[in-house]
A and B are shown apart, each in its own frame.
Chain A
Amino acid sequence: EVQLVESGGGLVQPGGSLRLSCAASGFTFSSYWMSWVRQAPGKGLEWVANIKQDGSEKYYVDSVKGRFTISRDNAKNSLYLQMNSLRAEDTAVYYCARARFVVPAAGQYYFDYWGQGTLVTVSS
């Protein structure tokens, strides 16, 4: 059974840092692109970042570029999101999701498994 379990969320002051983790099990973690998707309270879904199987390619939404870093450790079946210079607008539930490509050459994918999410609150 595929499982994704996030951890590391919490309350942090503006300008602070937090590192989220996602522990994966039930599939060959090193074979999949992985993503972070967030959802602000009462709002819709927003893609945050993607990382390739071997970590050689990473992509970010413009609003977090230069502040957030996605990474992975395939030996530990784990995905991470290092979040620095946090802002109030980063307050959200952060989901780890597995990306499944429909057409790899066209960069078209969907998210077939999601974790339960971890809440990040940025407030003084």
Chain B
Amino acid sequence: DIQMTQSPSSLSASVGDRVTITCRASQSISSYLNWYQQKPGKAPKLLIYAASSLQSGVPSRFSGSGSGTDFTLTISSLQPEDFATYYCQQRRSFGQGTKLEIK
């Protein structure tokens, strides 16, 4: 299976900041990369699929980009409700997660 590596593992930021999380695949996966948000004690929530398609109902401050092996999730202006853990996923493989904390 393809391995997914996220960076950073944790990140401190302030409300209003622009934040970028990176996911790297161990081999090319074209644009088949998805992003999820998970809050403590809750199920993951789909944010972005196929690298850059915004899931219905997800705020437009979330965006995704990339292809091949390198992908990014960007939050343009952090809101209080965005502090959570973010995961990338390709088929059966998940990244290890990036915990976004309040500075």
> Which one, A9-17, A23-31, A70-78, A110-118, is touching chain B?
A110-118
Whether A111 lies near B89 (C-beta < 8 A) is yes
Name A35's closest neighbour in chain B (CB-CB).
B92
Name B34's closest neighbour in chain A (CB-CB).
A110
Against B, the Cβ 8 Å flags (1 = close, 0 = not) of A40-51 are: 000011110010
Give B34-78 interface residues, CB cut-off 8 Å to A.
Answer: 34, 36, 38, 42-46, 49-50, 55
Whether A110 lies near B46 (C-beta < 8 A) is yes
Q: Chain A contact residues (Cβ within 8 angstroms of B): what range? A: 20 to 34
Whether A102 lies near B50 (C-beta < 8 A) is yes
Residue among A46, A61, A111 with max Cβ neighbours from chain B (10 Å): A111
A95 beta carbon closer than 8 Å to chain B: yes
Q: Is the interface of A mostly helix, strand, loop or mixed?
A: strand
Whether B89 lies near A61 (C-beta < 8 A) is no
Q: How far is the CB of B41 from chain A (nearest CB, A)?
A: 9
Whether B93 lies near A47 (C-beta < 8 A) is yes
Name A109's closest neighbour in chain B (CB-CB).
B91
The answer for the CA separation of A123 and B62 in the assembled complex, in Å, is: 40
Against B, the Cβ 8 Å flags (1 = close, 0 = not) of A90-124 are: 00000100001011001111111111110000000
Q: Which of A44, A102, A107 contacts B49 (CB 8 A)?
A: A102
Q: Which of A61, A100, A114 contacts B44 (CB 8 A)?
A: A114
Interface residues, chain B, with chain A CB atoms under 8 Å away? 30, 32, 34, 36, 38, 42-46, 49-50, 55, 87, 89-97
Interface residues, chain A, with chain B CB atoms under 8 Å away? 37, 44-47, 50, 59, 61, 95, 100, 102-103, 106-117
